[in-house]
């Protein structure tokens, strides 16, 4: 890797470069900028997209890198997601990757270094790019899920066959049964089913039925290819949670709001906005009335004062009495 002036504060290397590439593609499809935290436990990201209808959680653990992980201080940095994916786009399945972060001597910025190494160690490609630090916001974990529906990564990848049929996808689940279905313009239903809804174990379970954007589901197919099993958590009051392995490096979880949840939140925001406007209008009307009453009261006081001033400025009337006759 080419030399970069400054103090190297992080370095990691893994043979699972292709997993890093798949993560980069997921981030490019979901987030405008990716905010990473690196510490002595690993590499982490927990961030919602700008419309706040998806949330991505990535945990790549220190132990998965073996002795090839060194971090001398906690680091919080952000990078344009599209730019990051461009640096990873040409990675092949058997490539290795080295990642470094260096503190620059001239200013407080940092440099991210990415070196992609083919299996034969020839034609290494090294790229260095400036990155910015950021102040992380504390986000509470989403809790309340019960036992997930478990399916294989290969089964989940079957959802990509539904992606061109419709922009919306219906997900229904009962117990260990789950169905992904779409309806195209010709009213033809296409579906992917895992399990049997009529199994005895599923009879007493409640039915989950929600609608999602098709792209939010099918965009996870490449990530699913790096995981033997996919855990899908369903709760009527929470976003859909899809959890999988990031190869041998860690975990990926994506939380996706249903279209019903998005619509309910929009209605609630609209109601809150109207309530706020009504409250503000009532406040200004009250203030206006109070100001008007005060103005009228001041006007009365001013009129009384003016009358008193007028009286005091008038010449005194002569006193009535006997007048003496002046003789010529």
Tally of domains in the chain = 3
Is 219 part of a structural domain of the chain?
A: yes
Tell me: do 11 and 72 sit in the same domain.
Answer: yes
Cα distance between residue 241 and residue 57, in whole Å: 10
pLDDT of 324: 40
Is 312 within a domain? no
Q: Compute mean pLDDT per 10 residues along the chain, 328 residues long, and list them.
A: 77 98 98 97 96 96 98 97 97 97 88 95 90 89 95 97 92 96 80 92 91 96 98 97 98 98 87 66 69 68 58 54 39
Strand arrangement of the beta sheet that strand 168-174 belongs to: 189-194, 177-183, 168-174, 208-213
Pair 88, 184 in one domain: no
- Domain with 240 in it: what CATH number? 3.10.150.10
CA of 325: how far to CAs of 318, 320, 321, in Å? 18, 15, 13
Distance CA 149, CA 130 (A): 42
- Position 326 scores a pLDDT of 33
Residues 253 and 278 in one domain: no
Looking at the structure, do residues 94 and 23 belong to the same domain, yes or no? yes
Q: Which of 112, 54, 108 lies closest to 78 in space, CA to CA?
A: 112
306 lies in a domain? no
Q: Are residues 250 and 275 in the same domain?
A: no
Residues with Cβ < 8 Å from 205, sequence gap 6 or more? 174, 175
Contact between 191 and 165 under an 8 Å Cβ cutoff? The reply is no
Please check whether residues 274 and 246 belong to one and the same domain. no
Quote the domain boundaries for residue 278. Answer: 268-300
Same domain for 284 and 239: no
> Does the residue 310 lie in any domain?
no
- The answer on 215 and 153 residing in a single domain is yes
pLDDT of residue 201: 85
Q: What does the pLDDT read at residue 317?
A: 52
* pLDDT of res. 121: 78
> In 3D, which of 225, 240, 220 has the Cα closest to residue 153?
225
pTM: 0.81
Element (H, E) at 284: helix 259-313
Task: Please indicate, yes or no, whether residues 15 and 120 belong to a single structural domain of this protein.
Answer: yes
Structural domain ending residue among the three candidates 228, 257, 286: 257
Residues 154 and 109 in one domain: no
Same domain, 159 and 198: yes
Task: Out of 108, 133, 158, pick the residue that ends a domain.
Answer: 133
Q: Is the dihedral of CA 263, 265, 267, 270 positive or negative?
A: negative
pLDDT at 306: 56
Could you give the CA distance from residue 170 to residue 240 in angstroms, rounded to a whole number? 12
Residue 322's pLDDT is what? 44
Are 237 and 295 found together in one domain? no
Contact 77, 132 (CB under 8 A): yes
Look at residue 326 and tell me if it is in a domain: no
Identify the domain boundary among 195, 227, 257.
257
Q: Name beta bridge partners: 96.
A: 117
Would you say residue 328 lies in a domain? no
């Amino acid at each position: 890797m080419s030399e970069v002036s400054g103090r190297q504060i992080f370095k990691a290397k893994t043979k699972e470069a292709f997993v890093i590439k798949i993560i980069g593609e997921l981030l490019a499809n979901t987030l405008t900028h990716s905010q990473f935290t690196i510490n002595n436990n690993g590499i982490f990201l927990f961030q919602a997209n700008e419309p706040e209808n998806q949330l991505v959680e990535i945990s790549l653990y220190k132990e998965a890198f073996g002795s090839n992980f060194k971090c001398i201080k906690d680091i919080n940095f952000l990078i344009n997601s599209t730019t990051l994916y461009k640096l990873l786009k040409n990675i092949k399945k058997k490539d290795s990757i080295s990642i470094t972060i260096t503190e620059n001597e001239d200013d407080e910025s940092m440099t991210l270094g990415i070196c992609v190494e083919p299996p034969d160690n020839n034609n290494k490609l090294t790229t260095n790019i400036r990155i910015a630090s950021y102040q992380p916001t504390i986000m509470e974990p989403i809790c309340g899920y019960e036992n997930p529906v478990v399916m294989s990564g290969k089964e989940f990848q079957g959802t990509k066959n539904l992606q061109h049929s419709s922009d919306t996808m219906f997900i229904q689940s009962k117990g260990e049964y789950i169905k992904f279905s779409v309806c195209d313009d010709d009213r033809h239903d296409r579906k992917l089913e895992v399990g049997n809804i009529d199994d005895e174990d599923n009879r007493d379970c409640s039915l989950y039925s929600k609608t999602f954007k098709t792209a939010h589901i099918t965009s996870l197919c490449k990530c699913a290819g790096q995981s033997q099993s996919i855990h899908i958590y369903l709760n009527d009051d929470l976003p859909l949670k899809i959890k999988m392995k990031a190869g041998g490096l860690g975990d990926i979880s994506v939380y996706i709001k249903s279209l019903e949840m998005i619509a309910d939140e929009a209605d609630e925001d609209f109601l809150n906005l109207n309530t706020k406007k009504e409250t503000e209008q009532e406040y200004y009307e009250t203030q206006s009335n109070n100001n008007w009453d005060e103005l009228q009261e001041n006007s009365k006081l001013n009129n009384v004062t003016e009358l008193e001033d007028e009286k005091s400025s008038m010449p005194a009337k002569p006193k009535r009495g006997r007048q003496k006759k002046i003789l010529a």
